[in-house]
Structure 1
Amino acid sequence: MTTKLDLYRVFCITARNGSISRAAQELYMSQSAVSQAIMQLENELDTRLFNRTTRGVTLTTEGSLLFEYAHSALSLIEAGEQKLTEFKDMTIGELKIGVGDTISKHFLLPYLEEFHIRYPNIRFKIVNGTTLEICALLKSGAVDLGVCNFPLNDPSLEQIPCLEVQDIFVCGDKYRAQCREPMHLRDIASLPLILLEPSSNSRKYVEDVLSAAGVKVSPEFELGSHDLLLEFAKINLGIACVIKQFARDYLEQQLVYEIPLQQEIPKRHIGICYLQSVSLSPASKKFVEQLSQERISP
């Protein structure tokens, strides 16, 4: 079935060649099919577009006017198709990711580096935020992907766990002696606590675990940075709840010490998420594939 767009393409190529036969060769059509297409367009527009001569065809005044617009429109369509091809081939594009500072530093950076090496023409836009803020950014369309702390109680988001993590309590030299033996969570709560801010998903997870054990917390300090938790614990301002995988340097250098617990806090994940109702861009799909294929355990 010949569409209106097909008719305009035949019209433009014929006008550019000035010959129905040469247009037919370029279009891989018969001369009669080209002539019929031109006649069909002229009938639909109720306008003669070409002057027919023994040497070929020339545009009428009306045909010249139409050619100016039709040629521009077809060129724009071709440019758009080319851009789509470039997006699919990953030669251009943008990847917008919402992520917090801690996860960027301790988890995401190697993946960003590898992706950039593979696809150097894809631009990154990184937006910092808490897990709740990242979920809001996803729903507003401000970012394509979120990398954050799980679990998330949001059925609108596709969630892919990537890194299994363990929440632990750590202390400095001052508290080490009294925290050598495995402690109950209620004993931990009786000490000066250093926790993340209440809006943090990590904080909420740990608080839920403590609450399920009948333990209510009243932290001495509430901080917005995981690294600050470690620094405060190192100088003996209290007991900090941190992610073990992100505190390895401090633990290995014995700047802080892990407090043994009678019952460990259940492990959870850091992962990548995106809206189920929105199709991912080619760059986003590739990045999700990369993280999905390279899941790691502690």
Structure 2
Amino acid sequence: MNIKLEQYKIFNEAASTLSFSLAARNLFISQSAVSQTIRLLEKELHTQLFIRQSKGVILTKEGKILHQKIAQALSLITSAENQITHFQELSQGELLIGAGDTLSENYLMPYLVSFHQQYPYVQIKMVNRTSLEIIELLKTGDIDLGFVNMPLFDEAITIQECLQVHDIFVSQQKDNHIYTFKELAKEPLVMLEKNANSRQYVDDYFASQGFLLQPAIELGSHNLLLEAVKNGLGKACVIKEFSQAECLHQQIHEIQLETPLPKRSIGYAYLSRKTLTPAAFKFIELLPIMSK
């Protein structure tokens, strides 16, 4: 058997995109070169790897098996090649990150500052989007690293947990009453806009308990929620970890719930079949390791 690594790389791109033309474009070769390589592989392996259709191709059972193993092997090879680079100081390049507004302001900023201090010549570009929009930006290559709300499942994306947060309700005045979900749902509530991922999480959880939240006020950022509570506009749903200073100085007070909301997780995400850039790799190293 005389199959070269380059042939497997072409096969992997074609199997990942399910398009010979897109694979050719991504690899900067001709479509005929991709087709010829696949034919040679199929001949060498004595099996059909793709089923040709009018709109692209699909993998055969044998093709799926080969793709799974080849993708893993190429990932290991690429990681080994790039790991040497990762240990070198970054003197140029860029760090492309996507995250929501709240995470950017309350979680990522200290790590961005630390990264800039260590690698001042690397340009940092941050885009603020929802979790689903961040996944799409990863797939299109517009960002290298994204921070998303978990759980979120996508076969093309690898997600690693990096932070656990707790959603709580707070009020301007101290309130010793222990609220049920039914009681809280009737209160004048201040919450994020409905398209925010953290708002959807709380809405879905209350709905699972049989209660529909209808806030009196909807705002566009976590900081505005805190300001609204401090000015007595209602009881707000905020992230505990990002509201500790206000709670400590008794500007706001946590409301006790009969059943606390379950904690949720934030993860960093990247495209599974694409090796992390040296800048993204170094940024991840700055993040605290989650204990098991």
Q: What's the TM-score, normalizing by structure 1?
A: 0.65
**C-alpha contact (below 8 Å) 2:86/2:278 kept by paired residues:** no
Gap change, CA 1:220 and 1:154, over 3 Å in 2? farther
Shift of 1:258: 0.4
1:205-253 residue CA offsets vs partner (Å, 9 max, x unmatched): 1111111111111111111100111111222211110000101111111
Matched, 1:129 2:120: no
| Residue among 192, 197, 211 paired with 1:196 | 192
Aligned to 1:143: 143
Matched, 1:95 2:95: yes
Corresponding residue number in structure 1 for 2:179: 183
- Of the structure 1 ranges 143-152 and 103-112, higher mean CA displacement relative to structure 2 is found in 143-152
Within-5 A mapping of 1:1-298: 89-173=89-173, 176=174, 179-291=175-287, 294-295=288-289
Shift in CA distance, 216/120, structure 1 to aligned 2, threshold 3 Å: same
Gaps of 5+ in 1: 1-83
1:27 aligned partner: none
The residue number in structure 2 matching 1:79 is: none
Instruction: Report SS of the residue matched to 2:107.
Output: helix
Aligned to 1:15: none
* Aligned residues between the structures: 208
Q: Provide the C-alpha distance between the structure 2 equivalents of 1:272 and 1:154, rounded to a whole number of angstroms.
A: 13
Q: In the superposition, relative to structure 1, how do residues 250 and 215 fare at CA in structure 2: closer, same or farther (>3 Å)?
A: same
SS in 2 for 1:102: helix
Report the Cα offset of residue 85 of structure 1. 6.7
Using the TM superposition, give the Cα deviation of residue 89 of structure 1 relative to its aligned residue in structure 2, in angstroms.
Answer: 4.4
Question: CA separation in 1, counterparts of 2:150 and 2:244?
Answer: 20
* Structure 2 alignment gaps of length 5 or more: 1-83
- The CA deviation at 1:131 is 2.1
Which amino acid is 2:161 matched to? P
What CA deviation, in whole Å up to 9, does each residue of 1:237-285 have, x standing for no partner? 1111000010111111111110001111011122211121222111112
Change (3 A) 1:125 1:259: same
Q: Say which is worse superposed, 193-202 or 142-151, in terms of deviation.
A: 142-151
1-side partners of 2:222 and 2:115: how far apart?
Answer: 26
State the superposition RMSD in angstroms. 2.2
Secondary structure at the aligned position of 1:161 is classed as: strand
Cα 1:283/1:92, change in 2 over 3 Å:
same
Query: What amino acid is aligned across from residue 295 of structure 1 in structure 2?
Result: I
Taking the aligned partners of 1:187 and 1:195, their CA distance within structure 2 comes to: 16
Q: Distance in 2 between matches of 1:86 and 1:184?
A: 51
One-letter identity of the residue aligned with 2:210: G
Is this contact kept in 1: 2:93–2:123, CA < 8 A? yes
Secondary structure at the counterpart of residue 162 of structure 1: strand
> Is the 1:98–1:147 contact (alpha carbons within 8 Å) kept by the matching residues of 2?
yes
Larger radius of gyration: 1
Greater Cα shift, 145-154 or 195-204: 145-154
Determine the C-alpha separation between the residues in 2 that align with 1:213 and 1:86.
48
- Preserved CA contact (<8 Å) 1:184 1:261: yes
Q: 1:264 to 1:120 in 2, by over 3 A?
A: same
Tell me the amino acid that sits aligned with residue 204 of structure 1: Q
- Normalization by structure 2: what TM-score? 0.66
Structure 1 runs (4+) deviating above 6 angstroms are 84-87
Q: Tell me which amino acid in the other structure corresponds to 2:283.
A: F
* Paired position in structure 1 for 2:42: none
Cα 1:207/1:135, change in 2 over 3 Å: same
